[in-house]
Structure 1
């Protein structure tokens, strides 16, 4: 998990002890990006059935979120020789290389013919600069038809995933902590990582989201608390 010594959930626990409700406590940001280099994003990411399930140029935590939903949370990044480079951050290990797709299917335990069919479809559309299945951007479309082929293991337990939690205290737009019934816990505010993230799961998160929330809602919470104090 990403964080520091003091990311221990104490702020959330204090809010709960005062009557605050929590949201999305089972959700997290998790990622193991295979890039840079970006050339790897021209390949395809498939599950253990040999099927694509996400646009490979998606934000890395979005890709990881979809990987977690695949059978056994297993996924492989497939690239041909022309597009194979080693990641600059060694988070996703190279399994091996194979002269034929048939050999690769057998080695990865993918049902015979499935990966070949996926590659054929992807390559045919990539040659035309299109991806009707997942709408990957044209700059990351390239036929993977020049063997041998390599496979990087993006599976949970194989790739080096890191992440942080997204849940926290339920709050109003002014950072007021809310109870289960939606009523306000008077005088209690929570922002940043203590509050439930706008991004409710890793698929909707982007770098800096918590910083933006902390500054925006922190300002609103401060203004609301000051106005409340002046009115007392």
Structure 2
């Protein structure tokens, strides 16, 4: 019989259900450990399910199959150039885990990946202009069978309260769906939705289990916290000085309010990077929520004075940080030459709906448009005229838009600086959004959560946005949030297996 103090008993309990959490759960369950996945909301995947699912894990056989000249050495040079050696031990742990976790995952018939070009974000030694990230193959919904409804739908359908369409799951849904398929096949994974983590149970100086959803669940070998950050908590954001707003984050409704981080802090865990996030521009939708926006191929962005303040084609975290340092409100200005938005947005935006809601405004002249958005007409007209001059010259003398391979990646081979000279003109409200906070519990290279003295807390591990990212305030390349979450969750489970 089980211990009456526990409602159920597991070897490993994983809080969260994003890419890191599901990778850790699969690693544990595949090793024969009875594993519980606890998800606060009613569906799995968190922000990972909304993502494009780029996975930045260098030097793996996925890149090798595609003929990409990637290696741990070139990635090491790139990360060192960007991050220095402050977190060298974590960097080396990440690089060592990358090929291991991919080999482990691809041994399972449910998991298939392919390289997809997407440039690294900084001009630094070791950079690959076509990137080193990869994505999961699409997953037919029917292959998941009755558990398909457990995977969080695409952001537009999810916000509207709709489930999946009949089309195959793609991007983040494919990643979560494939991990769920693999976990289910082990026979050792128990998925509990609607089960929020509320506390950690410590016995004899060791984390022995969790309180979640009104239950006491034993974790005889370890607890892995991979439940996202605190981006959706206005209270915690304000306390830690995170730019942006809980109303503007891409976090799913009801998720990512910092519960796991706070539970660990209550038992003595230390934290770091709590003022940091993975930032991005966001276009307001009719319901007021943001649409993650990247890949600008036209238009320009102005601040509250009506002037440009950055290269609009910067990688989204870098552009978000420029916004955090500037004064809003911000607007994307574009003209009728574009058939809708001259950028990529998640979810996609319908121009008619945006205009009808007032999130976008339209005018016959730039000066009239300035009046609509409350900036000086002469200033905005001057900004557009100067930008058009750069378009004629083929060079952005102010912010060098178009000079970097990342800028050119989204231009389709055309120029990155395109004149605004075809009426009518449009303005779309832009806010500082984010893909999640990146500060949280301090960990060692094996994912063990550290206390205030720097010592590991026995039985407690963290990965993903529940932990403080080893990249600090830098976002090196597409998919490093997901890739690092997967790598450190995998390392945490390997440590659990070795130590108990």
TM-score above 0.5: yes
TM-score category (smaller protein): 0.7 to 0.9
Shift of 1:8: 4.6
2:464 corresponding residue in structure 1: 192
| Alignment coverage as a number of residue pairs | 221
TM-score, normalization: structure 1?
A: 0.76
Measured against aligned partners, the alpha-carbon deviations of 1:171-195 in whole angstroms (never above 9, x if no partner) come to 1222121233433334432112321
**Structure 2 CA distance, aligned partners of 1:4 and 1:118?**
38
Residue correspondence of structure 1 range 1-232 to structure 2 within 5 A:
1=232, 2-3=251-252, 7-29=256-278, 31=280, 32-33=282-283, 41-71=297-327, 73-83=328-338, 85-86=340-341, 88-90=348-350, 93-99=359-365, 101-137=366-402, 139=411, 140-155=416-431, 163-198=435-470, 200=472, 204=475, 208-229=479-500
**Structure 1 CA distance, aligned partners of 2:396 and 2:310?**
11
Query: Do the aligned partners of residues 219 and 115 (structure 1) sit closer, same or farther apart at CA in structure 2, a change above 3 Å counting?
Result: same
- Structure 2 residue ranges without an equivalent (≥5): 1-231, 233-250, 284-290, 403-407
Is the CA contact 1:178–1:184 (under 8 Å) kept in the aligned structure 2?
yes
Greater length-normalized contact order (CA 8 Å, ≥ 6 residues apart)? 1
What CA RMSD, in Å, does the superposition of the two structures yield over aligned residues? 3.3
**Structure 1 CA distance, aligned partners of 2:466 and 2:292?**
30
TM-score, normalization: structure 2?
A: 0.39
Is the CA contact 2:436–2:465 (under 8 Å) kept in the aligned structure 1?
no
- Structure 1 residue ranges without an equivalent (≥5): none
**Structure 2 CA distance, aligned partners of 1:35 and 1:126?**
26
Shift of 1:48: 1.4
**Structure 2 CA distance, aligned partners of 1:112 and 1:4?**
38
Query: Do the aligned partners of residues 166 and 70 (structure 1) sit closer, same or farther apart at CA in structure 2, a change above 3 Å counting?
Result: same
Is the CA contact 1:55–1:135 (under 8 Å) kept in the aligned structure 2?
yes
Query: Do the aligned partners of residues 84 and 55 (structure 1) sit closer, same or farther apart at CA in structure 2, a change above 3 Å counting?
Result: farther
Shift of 1:45: 0.3
Measured against aligned partners, the alpha-carbon deviations of 1:132-154 in whole angstroms (never above 9, x if no partner) come to 33232253321113333221121
